Chains A and B, each alone.
Chain A
């Protein structure tokens, strides 16, 4: 896959001295879905804003489709569609006029066929002559997406597309994003929902405190950082973990019926053989065994903690 966005050493320090981005390097490939994960104030929105022209970077370089976002901003921005986090929309305008305006604003000639296609794809066609204020929150969010797609961008930025959106609409949104990717649109989305990143993204970038901690293929990230849990269900409830098992770091569930052992699935020795032997030695009768991959949420929290720890160590 060719690269479509190159970000090199991107920095942004706001006037009040706040360093929102501290030298971010990121390459985005054409046609991929990249999820940017990070806690509030990590710099996700500033990163998107800098690439899209809403914020002037204080350092570094960004190219979109080979065009520098500052010296060649017209060509760079023509390729980009942006869906902001907040629902910001001209209240009294008609839906279809709002979308037409976006296309014109981006310098594209009138194309009613394309406008209709976009509105239909977002189930807004029936509402095209309604005023924006008359529509529900979910529909307003879809208008924002329609506006961003009106000029046929190659890259779509979705800043928290499913924040405050109900489950049905979230599924619809995911479906839409997948469809767009099939059409060859590169998608960069920020999210709080780990599940979302895990479900949708080809690659995941983790941002915290203005730094990109890592970018990795979703599957490999899960594999690399994913811890596994072994749950051993026992026939007779226990009051405490037997000492031989406590040495493995095994914990006991509240009802005393399950022993939980966390291990690194990618390690050469998981310690499972020894554990099973020790369980047998302790004379426990097993009812069931299961293993579970830890969720990205846990992975993410670990990364952020490690990132903070590494930075504390550096200081």
Chain B
């Protein structure tokens, strides 16, 4: 009746989860889109307009334009992590996770449903931010395919990270703590608003350990053709991060960690 091949994915179930998550997003459309847009506009006014006017161009790019890729990445990371973390934490919190666990689906299908929806929403917001940016600064994209690849890979890998966070979190405090204490500093110190050449030697070296640097650098390269690190290194870094997150998710899947006693 409903028996399916043992291998191969159950797309009906995945679609159900994806649609359910997207419906949740659409219900809260105002807060999910309005707040990132307002935040970004503020960044443009403060950094691009007020401060940017006194800053010389960075590597030949007007400062207002220079910060766009970093801002988009900042929002993309935050959105991806928050959406995915909340998406899986909420059923755990209110108890509806019983239905996911009792359904004839495997963990991979749960992950695809939740992470897919979180990444979709994060990408949507990122595109809106980009469009908003064009109202303030001049923007050209030199490598559109690479730009898209960076966007999608980043959205996916940080949605996975958010999913892991949502599984790990035991309360709302833990859920908001990681994005606040780890992700935001990493983005700010990853060259969202500056080139690492502008940092003193020692700090610049430390920055190379920051994974977000590679994201922003690669993403910025796809716009302007200039980067702190070679774009292929950035791509490897993003792919490596994605693989690491998949590894952790696979381990959670094997052990049922924090979801299944």
Chain A positions within 8 Å of B, measured between CB atoms, are 14-15, 52-56, 72-78, 80, 82, 84, 86, 88-93, 97, 101-109, 147, 151
Chief secondary structure at chain A's binding surface? loop
Contact among A75, A84, A93, A105 with B3 in the assembled complex (CB-CB below 8 Å): A75
Tell me which of B10, B19, B94 contacts A107 (CB under 8 A).
Answer: B10
Let me know if B6 is at the binding interface, CB within 8 A.
Answer: yes
Docked-complex contact B12 and A109, CB < 8 angstroms: yes
- The 17 listed contacts between A and B (C-beta, < 8 Å) are A74-B6, A78-B2, A88-B94, A88-B98, A89-B96, A91-B94, A92-B24, A92-B27, A93-B20, A104-B15, A104-B16, A105-B100, A105-B103, A105-B105, A107-B12, A107-B104, A108-B12
- Of all chain B residues, which has the CB nearest A152? B1
Chain B proximity of A185: nearest CB distance (Å): 14
Task: Tell me, rounded to whole Å, the shortest Cβ–Cβ distance linking A53 to chain B.
Answer: 5
Select from chain B the residue with minimum beta-carbon distance to A51. Answer: B102
Q: A82-B102, A147-B99 are in contact. Are A55 and B261 (CB under 8 A)?
A: yes
Does B4 count as interface, using CB distance less than 8 angstroms?
yes
Q: Are A54 and B15 in contact (CB under 8 A)?
A: no
| Binary contact track B24-35/A, C-beta < 8 Å → 1, others 0 | 100100000000
Residues of B within 8 Å of A93, CB to CB, are: 20, 23-24
Q: How far is the CB of A134 from chain B (nearest CB, A)?
A: 15
CB-contact partner of A73 in B96, B100, B104, B256, under 8 A:
B104
* Whole-angstrom CA separation of A53 from B103 in the bound complex: 8
> Which residue of A has the minimal Cβ distance to B16?
A104
| Residue from the list B3, B16, B256, B261 in contact with A74, Cβ < 8 A | B3
The verdict on B13 contacting chain A, using a C-beta distance below 8 Å, is yes
Evaluate contact between A107 and B4: CB separation under 8 angstroms: yes
Nearest CB of chain A from residue B216's CB, rounded to whole Å: 35
Enumerate the 6 nearest inter-chain pairs by beta-carbon distance, A residue then B residue, closest first: A104-B16, A88-B95, A77-B104, A78-B2, A74-B104, A52-B102
Q: Kindly provide the distance from the CB of B153 to the nearest chain A CB, expressed in whole angstroms.
A: 28
When distances are taken between beta carbons in the complex, the residues of chain B under 8 Å from A78 are 1-3, 104
The answer for the CA separation of A92 and B20 in the assembled complex, in Å, is: 11
The contact of A75 among B15, B19, B96, B104, by CB within 8 Å, is: B104
B54 contacts which chain A residues (CB < 8 A)? none
CB <8 Å contact, A105 and B95: no
Residues of A contacting B16 with CB < 8 Å? Answer: 101, 103-105
